[in-house]
Amino acid sequence: MKRLLLVAASVAAIVFGAAADKPVTPSPAEAKAFVATAEADLAKRSEYANRASWVRATYITEDTQWLEAKAGAEIAEAATKFARDATRFDGVQVDPDTRRKLDLLKRGISFPTPSTPGAAEEMATIGSRLDSMYSTGKFTYKGKTLTLGDAEDILASSRDPAETKAIYEGWRTVSPAMRTDYARLVDLANTGARELGYKDTGAIWRSWYDMPPDAFAKETDRLWSQVQPFYKNLHCYVRARLNEKYGDAVQPRTGPIRADLLGNMWSQQWGNIYDVVAPQTKGGGLGYDLDKVLVAKGYDPIKMVKTGEGFYTSLGLAPLPQTFWERSQIVKPRDREVVCHASAWDLDDKDDIRIKMCTKVNAEDFSTIHHELGHNYYQRAYKDQPWIYRGGANDGFHEAIGDFVALSANTPTYLKQINLIEQTPSADQDIPFLMRMALDKIAFLPFGLLVDKWRWEVFSGQVKPDQYNQAWWDLVRQYQGLTPPGARPADAFDPGAKYHIPGNTPYMRYFLAHVYQFQFQRAACKQAGWKGPLHRCSVYGNKEVGKRFDAMLQMGQSKPWPEAMRTFTGETTTDASAVADYFAPLDAWLTKQNKGEKCGW
C-alpha cells in the first residue's frame, strides 16, 4: 500500500463485532469483508487527497494549504481507524492474501493519528504548514533574497570558504521556526502509534520490511558495515584534497570534514567538488562534460524527459500517457510558489502519472529524470493489483527502480548509444568516472542512514526537542565524519533544513535503494551477457532484461520483498557486495592514494 499516507488518509468509522459485553471472535469471512471495505473506501479517498496535495505542491497559497490539510486529515483519520480495526482479526485464521492485506493496513501509515477528536485535523494542518514553510523558505545574502535553488547553485560552484559558510548557515535560518510544530507532530504520531500497539512511530517505520522492527534495525547496521570501509577510504582522500586547496586553517588534514566545503547543502553528495578532488591519472578526465554536452546538443527540459522515457520504452515498456505531458510540472512556473523538490506522482492509482520538477538542463537533472520516471513506470506496472498492493515491494524498491536505470543512464556507454557523445572514453578514464559516481553514490550512504536514525531516537523519546540539533550533529559526525563550519545557534533546528524532515518522508528507503540499485545492476548485466566492467554496463535496449524487470514491477507489494527481489535478480537477501563489485577499481586506487594518511575522524 502506498505510503503517501504521511499525514494523510481517511475512511468512515465502521464498528465490527458484537456489543462490548458480548465479545465474539470475528470469522474469516468478516475479515475478508473488512479488507474489501477498507480497500474500496481508501482507494476513493486516496485520489481526492492526492489531487489536493498536487494542487498545493504546484500552487502554494493559504487556500491550497487548507484544502490539502482537510483532505489529508480525512484520509489519515480513516486509515488509522482501519488500522486499529484490523487488529481485531489478529487471531483469526484467514487465507494468506487476507492476512497480508490486514498486516499492510496496520503498518501502512507513516504518521498515525490518535483517536482524540481534532487530532487528525491538527496533524494534517501542521504537516502542510511545515512542508510549505520549507518550500517557500528564503534568506538574505549580500542584500539579495535567495531561495534554496539559488543557494544550492552558489554552494555548488563557490570555492570561497567564507561564502560557502554564509550560504550553508543562511539556509538553516529557515528551519528554527519549525521545531515546535515538529515536536508537536511527533507527540501526536506517537500517541497514534501506541493506539495501534507499537511502542512509537519509529517502530511502525521499521516494521515495513517483512521482518520484526528490531531485526530491521540490525539489518541496516549490517549493510552499513559492508560499505563503511569504502566510505572511509573516500572520506580520507577527499579530506586530503580539501586540505591541499584550503589549508589547515579551513580544513585540517585529520579529523572531520567541514560540511559546507562539499558542494551540497546537506553534504549528502559531493559530485559538485569534482574539480577539487579530480584524480590525476594517465587517462586524464572523463573526456566530456555532460552539462555542456546537453546544452550543445540543444536539450531542453522536455527533451530530457523524452530521453528518459526512451530508456524505459527501449526495455519494452509502454510510452508515458499523453496526460503525463499535459499535467506534469516539468519546469518551474514563473508566477507562483511551488515545491521544487523532484517527485513522481500517481494521482488516481491507475494512469494519471506525473512528475513534479523545476528542471534545469544539466547532468544532475538528466539523472534525476531517469530516477523519477522509475517511480512512474513502477506505479503503472502495478496498477492492476488490489489497491492495498499498489506500492513498491518495500519503499526502498520504489527508489531503487529509477536509480538502477540511472546507473545505465550515467554510463558513457549509454550516452554513446543515444548519440550524446561520439565515442566512449578509454579504460584509462575509468577512475575519473568512478570517482564522479562515488562522490554521489558512496558519499550518500551514511547520510541515507542517519536521517532516520535521528528520527528513531526522536520518536523513542531518547532525544528531546531541546536536544534535536545536538543529536543531529552527533550522528553526522559519527556516520559522515563531518562538522559544521561554525558553532550552531542555541535555537538551531538543522534537521528541518532537509526537506524530508518537515515533509515527513521516511528516509531509510534511500539508503536501501543505494544498495538495491547495484544488486539490480549486477543481475541485469549478467542477464544481458555483459562481459566488461560493471560500471560500464548499460542495459538500454535489452528487452529480455525488460521482461524480468517488468515482472518484478507488476508484483507491487503483493508478496514479501524477497520474492520480488528473486523475480528479477534470483537473490532473496540484500547484499551490498554489489556496491563493492561496481567500485572495486576505485577502492583499490584510493587505498594507494591514502598511503601515509591518518584516515578516520
Q: For residues 399 and 382, give the distance between their C-alpha atoms in angstroms, rounded to a whole number.
A: 15
Q: List the catalytic residue out of 39, 74, 309, 399.
A: 399
Residue 68 falls in the annotated catalytic set: no
User: Per-residue confidence at 22, pLDDT binned at 50, 70, 90?
Assistant: low
Q: What is the pLDDT of residues 228-285, one digit of tens each?
A: 999 999 999 999 999 999 999 999 999 999 999 999 999 999 999 999 999 987 656 7
Percentage of the residues of the chain whose pLDDT score is greater than 70: 96
Torsion of CA 366, 368, 372, 378, to 10 degrees: 90
CA 81 to chain centre: 28
Question: For residue 432, is it within any domain?
Answer: no
Catalytic residue among 235, 375, 398, 535: 375
Report in angstroms the alpha-carbon separations of 35 from 89, 90, 287, 387, 402: 10, 13, 57, 10, 31
**342 catalytic per annotation:** yes
- DSSP label of 317: P
Of the pLDDT bands very low, low, confident and very high (cuts 50, 70, 90), residue 427 is confident
Instruction: Check if 399 is active-site.
Output: yes
Report which secondary-structure segment, H or E, holds 281. none
Residue 231 lies in a domain: no
Question: From the candidates 500, 523, 535, 576, which is the catalytic residue?
Answer: 500
Domain assignment present for 141: no
559: how many CB neighbours lie within 10 A of its CB?
16
Contact 217, 477 (CB under 8 A): no
CA atoms within 13 A on the CB side of 157: 6
How confident is the model over 93-127, as pLDDT tens digits? Answer: 999 999 999 999 988 888 888 989 999 899 999 99
Q: Does residue 20 form part of some domain?
A: no
Catalytic residue chosen out of the listed positions 288, 510, 540, 582: 510
- Four-CA torsion 600, 266, 237, 250, nearest 10 degrees: -90
* Total domains in the fold of the chain: 1
263 and 475 Cβ atoms separated by less than 8 Å: no
Q: Is 309 in the active site?
A: no
Q: Within a domain: residue 38?
A: yes
Catalytic residue (choose from 33, 43, 342, 584)? 342
Over residues 373-400, the pLDDT tens digits come to: 999 999 999 999 999 999 999 999 999 9
- Note if 219 is an active site residue: no
Residue 51 lies in a domain: yes
Task: Please indicate whether residue 235 is annotated as part of the active site.
Answer: no
Q: Which candidate in 372, 414, 438, 524 is catalytic?
A: 372
Res. 3: pLDDT tops 60: no
User: Which residue out of 163, 278, 341, 544 is catalytically annotated?
Assistant: 341
Which residue range(s) make up the domain with 101?
Answer: 28-133+180-198
